[in-house]
Amino acid sequence: MLIVMQAGATQAEIERVLARVRELGFTPHPIPGRHRVAVGITGNPGPLDPHLFEVLPGVKEAIPVSRPYKLVSRETHPESSVVEVGGVPIGAGHFAVIAGPCSVESREQVLAAARAARSGGAQLLRGGAFKPRTSPYAFQGLGRQGLELLAEARAETGLPVVTEALDLHSLEAVVELADCIQIGARSMQNFSLLREAGRAGKPVLLKRGLAATLEEWLMAAEYILSEGNRRVILCERGVRTFADHARNTLDVAAVPAIQRLSHLPVIVDPSHAAGIRHLVGPLALAGVAAGADGLMIEIHPEPERALSDGPQALTPAEFAGLMAAVQRVRQALAPRAEPAVVPSGAPGQPS
């Protein structure tokens, strides 16, 4: 924390700031300047609220200088983490694609989608059984029955299942029947749910909130890690801006920025960012080129018949075509990406 005094701050005002810092148990370091005095603080165990000092007379600003997160930080864990989902590794050079329908609608649909996911080259199956819907009148998902259909599709295709939990009730079912708990964008700051997901003993896919900063997103992950669960995968899915040509604005810079701040794997969901099919491919490839550790893509055997988000779902053929392009881009990047991310012999190294 650095406290910047106003240009005309009196000696008494400065003394009061120093006294307040000592009173809180920390050490103040006055820095005299040409126009004003600043006061550095050391000895604090973690970040302080700037406003603690900004309310004192003569103080112009208090500026935090340390990050509030710890367990997710690359400073405390320099090697990239590998998170395994049902035996599929993600992160530190391991790339994985999660594909499947927005919602589980029927046995036939989810099996067809799972086969298309596997034959297109996906390693994991997605599908919503509990759906967060803006309208109370919209289709809310098949619930537990949807999870059972996903489990059946897993039995047939061998693809582990990633699916969203909305609340404590659906979390229980997801933990019982699926391989990875998805926390959606609208739930990113549902702190009770984050804590429970942290205790559930399954890996967690944490989507970025619609208007979340990277710090808030990492703090949400910190909730999960602080409960003892280090198996968190972050997922960029676009943020809300004034732009209206896509459903959300894919913040592709978040991928390398997160990779610098945190050891956790980060993947990209181009489907929810795009909102419309013809943007999904370009955004998927952009995410891969920016260094994402994986993709999450919506596919549907018959998008025109989908009960939710059909227009952004790829057909099996489109998905297979995109996966081939993803593969080629991954190879094009290979000489550049791997060595930098995983130092030889590091814990995160691919086996």
Stretch that binds its own copies, among 84-92, 108-116, 119-127, 307-315 (CB under 8 A): 307-315
Distance CA 18, CA 24 (A): 10
Q: For its own copies, what does the binding mask look like between residues 89 and 118, x meaning CB under 8 A?
A: ------------------------------
Closer by beta carbon to its own copies, 83 or else 219? 219
Among 18, 143, 226, 347, binds its own copies (CB under 8 A): 226
Piece in contact with its own copies (CB under 8 A), picked from 106-114, 118-126, 145-153, 214-222: 214-222
Of 283, 255, 268, 282, which is closest to residue 341 (Cα–Cα)? Answer: 255
Is 249 among the residues that bind its own copies (CB under 8 A)? Answer: yes
CB of 285 closer than 8 Å to CB of 302: no
Q: What minimum distance in Å lies between the beta carbon of 293 and its own copies? A: 13
- Cα 6 to Cα 27, 58, 115, distances in angstroms: 21, 5, 66
Contact stretch for its own copies (CB under 8 A) within 93-101, 117-125, 132-140, 145-153 = 132-140
Nearer to its own copies, 44 or 349 (CB): 44
Using CB under 8 A as the binding rule, whether residue 321 contacts its own copies is answered as: yes
The residues pairing with 128 across neighbouring beta strands, listed in sequence order, are: 103
Inter-residue long-range contacts of 24-29, CB under 8 Å, 24+ positions, other chains counted: 24/48, 24/52
Q: Indicate which single residue of 36, 143, 343, 347 sits in contact with its own copies (rule: CB under 8 A).
A: 36
Residue pair 277/314 in contact (Cβ under 8 Å)? The answer is: yes
Number of residues lying near its own copies (CB under 8 A): 107
| Cβ-based neighbour number of residue 75 at 10 Å | 12
Among 137, 344, 345, 351, binds its own copies (CB under 8 A): 137
Task: For residue 29, give the 3-state DSSP assignment.
Answer: strand
The single residue among 106, 108, 336, 338 that binds its own copies, judged by CB under 8 A, is 336
Helix (H, G, I), strand (E, B) or coil at 282: helix
**What one-letter code names the amino acid at 201?**
G
Q: Does 201 bind its own copies (CB under 8 A)?
A: no
